[in-house]
A and B are shown apart, each in its own frame.
Chain A
Amino acid sequence: GIQVEQSPPDLILQEGANSTLRCNFSDSVNNLQWFHQNPWGQLINLFYIPSGTKQNGRLSATTVATERYSLLYISSSQTTDSGVYFCAVEGNTGFQKLVFGTGTRLLVSP
């Protein structure tokens, strides 16, 4: 099945800093989502982005499907950005299911 790798596994930032999280995947996809999991376990949808670029406030994401990677950009980070960021992909061949990466744990300190 499709493989998903996220990097870095852990990231510590000062408030106000910018960061880039990466997601590599092993096959062509028809779904790619970025999520933020808060300390209570809730998965919050950030982007549905199987290809192209999207922006939402301080967050933006780019997926280059032909090169099998996606990037999540966080600008001017805030302490509320802390948590785990997951990339999840669904391949467009075989069984249709969302496969999650192992996540990037982000800590933003004041």
Chain B
Amino acid sequence: KAGVTQTPRYLIKTRGQQVTLSCSPISGHRSVSWYQQTPGQGLQFLFEYFSETQRNKGNFPGRFSGRQFSNSRSEMNVSTLELGDSALYLCASSRQDNYGYTFGSGTRLTVV
């Protein structure tokens, strides 16, 4: 059984650029969540999607956005990158509400 797949694994971008990260959940999982992990702030919730609808959003600026497709795959986009956006971005999927989450290996984004 395939796990949660995140691509790419590593990214280096320049300030001001935009970036798109991809997440393929476990087959049959309809809920996909995104988290940002930094040494200073730890793991912070970005947003959660279920059946192509954003159900929850964390306290991040509008430069952070996401979407979910009909096959449950999800993408998140960060526009006008800032140095502080450098982080490990983790995606998690769940079979049903509050049933426990499975995480991917993450995308390491470095903004220079």
- Do A and B make up one complex? no
